[in-house]
């Protein structure tokens, strides 16, 4: 009986993973399909500004998330059968994220207008701000915690399909880079609006108390999410901020080249890894309470699945490399070696995420969760100054090498901690 139950749970995780692959296809593959067009229409300077604005706002999205996509997902998964408790968590998180959005706006808008460095980027950053607003109110954590991946997939995929085609209509010259930034971020607003329409029809909505949470509630949620917020922010600093740092030391053309490489690597890695991780996370978190051995088995299955898929993707890239370079990287042929090095990094990136999120957080306890945070804190403290120095001296070469080595270190530390806490 137990065996058939475990098979059913694995089947459910794989089914949810399938739904989420559709989401990530929209998140990464659709933007990637527009990349050849944007590279052809925008010149090196305008494409670099476009990429810089997207990278900067993505960092702020990590701050706005505050680790809730993990902590709140886990909390909702544990009480998903109680609409009243879910409603309480939902309203608290929405208010907290709103406060964070207001603080970020108050801090950064004056910086954009009064700091000279942002003169070339400020309009693109302001236009891209709608992405931050939309991501703030798009409750990914709710759908994950409720194990409602199908609805989540449909909302996110639909929002991309109704906004991205306009890139081909409205972006006609290098002067239209603001339209490109606006349309790519507009999908977040559409996703948020559709989510609230869907949630308004759930039982949870009837239990909703639309009022600001108490100080104690805010303090509790922030304290719970702080270690993951710190680690997620530093993760973003390690990856996404390489684009921002390059903007200080290199030309907009080089920023555009690195952005193109980064988009391809994310499309190859996260379009497959993220769905598997997001599908398995709530199941492992829920199962570990009463069926720890089954949860551990599900964790091991996720490792094998992700490893196999990443190896297939790496092989697939090299089979179709000539086609990809011709269609996407024709203007950046001098960076092909860097692209190849970056493609190999998708395996440690994905496995580091599996060992960290599914192992140390979903399967582990507060001690292992702190270990997860420390991996990113320690790695960032030691690697970030070195990365900045490498970018300053070697430019885009230093950025790519630093990124790959940092991901390898994170993967090894996550694996060692999983072994240490006997989670395999």
pLDDT in tens, 72-119: 777 787 777 777 777 778 888 888 888 889 999 999 888 888 887 788
10 Å CB burial of residue 223 (0-12, 13-18, 19+) is exposed
Confidence grade of residue 214 (pLDDT, cut at 50, 70, 90): low
- In this prediction, residue 234 carries a pLDDT of 62
Confidence grade of residue 205 (pLDDT, cut at 50, 70, 90): low
Q: Of 260, 407, 408, 250, nearest to 339 (Cα)?
A: 260
Q: Of 368, 366, 344, nearest to 424 (Cα)?
A: 368
Q: Of 275, 246, 249, nearest to 259 (Cα)?
A: 246
Q: What percent of the chain has pLDDT over 90?
A: 10
- In this prediction, residue 127 carries a pLDDT of 92
How far does CA 413 lie from the centroid of its chain?
20
Span 36-46, mean pLDDT?
Answer: 79
Residue with the bigger pLDDT between 228 and 309: it is 309
Q: Of 171, 100, 92, nearest to 136 (Cα)?
A: 100
Which tokens go with 345? 């990094």
Q: How far is CA 236 from CA 58, 102, 363, in A?
A: 8, 21, 23
Confidence grade of residue 207 (pLDDT, cut at 50, 70, 90): low
Positive or negative, the CA dihedral 381, 386, 387, 391 is: positive
Q: Which residue has the tokens 């058939």?
A: 4
Q: How far is CA 58 from CA 50, 93, 108, 283, in A?
A: 12, 20, 14, 28
- In this prediction, residue 1 carries a pLDDT of 45
- In this prediction, residue 196 carries a pLDDT of 86
Distance CA 19, CA 17 (A): 5
- In this prediction, residue 4 carries a pLDDT of 53
Q: What is the CA radius of gyration of the chain?
A: 21
Residues in Cβ contact with 134 at an 8 Å cutoff, skipping those fewer than 6 apart: 185, 186, 187, 188, 189, 190, 191, 192
pLDDT digits (tens, 9 = 90+) for 363-384: 877 788 778 878 877 887 777 7
Distance CA 62, CA 166 (A): 27
Residue with the bigger pLDDT between 112 and 247: it is 112
- In this prediction, residue 38 carries a pLDDT of 83
Q: Residue 216: is its pLDDT beyond 80?
A: no
Which tokens go with 338? 């860097």
- In this prediction, residue 298 carries a pLDDT of 86
- In this prediction, residue 117 carries a pLDDT of 75
Q: Residue 232: is its pLDDT beyond 80?
A: no
- Please report, to the nearest 10 degrees, the dihedral formed by the alpha carbons of residues 100, 197, 79, 22 taken in order: -90
Distance CA 294, CA 9 (A): 10
User: Mean pLDDT, the chain, as a whole number?
Assistant: 79
Which tokens go with 290? 């009463």
Q: Residue 123: is its pLDDT beyond 60?
A: yes
Q: Residue 23: is its pLDDT beyond 70?
A: no
Q: Residue 396: is its pLDDT beyond 50?
A: yes
pLDDT digits (tens, 9 = 90+) for 300-314: 888 998 899 899 999
Q: How far is CA 48 from CA 44, 45, 130, 233, 382, in A?
A: 6, 5, 19, 23, 29
Altogether, the residues listed in the chain come to a count of: 424
Residue with the bigger pLDDT between 281 and 222: it is 281
The long-range contacts involving 82-86, CB below 8 angstroms and separated by at least 24 positions, are 83/202, 83/203, 83/204, 83/206, 83/207, 84/207, 86/142, 86/145, 86/146, 86/204, 86/207
Distance CA 93, CA 210 (A): 11
- In this prediction, residue 24 carries a pLDDT of 57
Q: Residue 343: is its pLDDT beyond 70?
A: yes
Q: Are 299 and 284 in contact (CB under 8 A)?
A: yes
């Amino acid at each position: 009986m137990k065996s058939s139950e475990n098979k059913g749970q694995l089947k459910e995780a794989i089914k949810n993973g399938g739904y989420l692959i559709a989401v990530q296809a929209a998140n990464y593959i659709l933007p990637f399909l527009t990349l050849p067009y944007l590279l052809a229409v925008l010149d090196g300077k305008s494409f670099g500004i476009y990429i810089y604005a997207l990278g900067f706002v993505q960092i702020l999205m990590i701050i706005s998330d505050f680790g809730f996509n993990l902590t709140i997902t886990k909390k909702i998964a544990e009480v998903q059968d109680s609409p009243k408790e879910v409603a309480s968590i939902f309203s608290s998180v929405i208010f907290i994220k709103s406060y964070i959005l207001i603080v970020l706006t108050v801090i950064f808008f004056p910086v954009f207008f009064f700091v000279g460095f942002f003169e070339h980027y400020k309009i693109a950053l302001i236009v891209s701000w709608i992405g931050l607003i939309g991501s703030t109110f798009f409750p990914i954590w709710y759908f994950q915690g409720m194990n409602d991946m199908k609805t989540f997939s449909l909302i996110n995929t639909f929002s991309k399909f109704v906004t991205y085609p306009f890139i081909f209509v409205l972006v006609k010259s290098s002067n239209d880079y603001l339209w490109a930034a606006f349309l790519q971020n507009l999908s977040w607003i559409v996703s948020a609006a559709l989510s609230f329409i869907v949630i308004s029809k759930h039982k949870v909505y009837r239990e909703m108390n639309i009022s600001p949470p108490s100080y104690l509630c805010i303090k509790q949620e922030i304290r719970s999410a702080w270690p993951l917020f710190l680690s997620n922010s530093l993760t973003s600093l390690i990856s996404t901020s390489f684009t921002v740092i390059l903007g200080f030391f290199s030309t907009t053309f080089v920023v555009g080249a690195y952005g193109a490489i980064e988009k391809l690597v994310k499309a190859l890695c996260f379009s497959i890894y993220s769905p598997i991780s997001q599908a398995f996370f709530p199941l492992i978190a829920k199962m570990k309470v009463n069926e720890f051995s089954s949860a551990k088995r599900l964790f091991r299955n996720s490792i094998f699945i992700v490893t196999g898929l990443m190896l297939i993707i790496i092989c697939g890239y090299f089979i179709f490399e000539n086609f990809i370079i011709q269609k996407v990287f024709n203007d950046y042929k001098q960076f092909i070696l860097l692209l190849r090095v970056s493609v190999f990094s998708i395996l440690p990136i994905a496995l580091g995420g599996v060992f960290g999120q599914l192992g140390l957080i979903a399967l582990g306890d507060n001690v292992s969760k702190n270990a997860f945070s420390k991996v990113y804190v320690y790695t960032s403290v030691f690697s970030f100054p070195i990365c900045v120095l490498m970018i300053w001296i070697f430019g885009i070469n230093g950025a790519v090498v630093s990124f790959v080595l940092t991901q390898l270190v994170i993967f090894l530390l996550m694996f060692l901690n999983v072994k240490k806490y006997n989670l395999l």
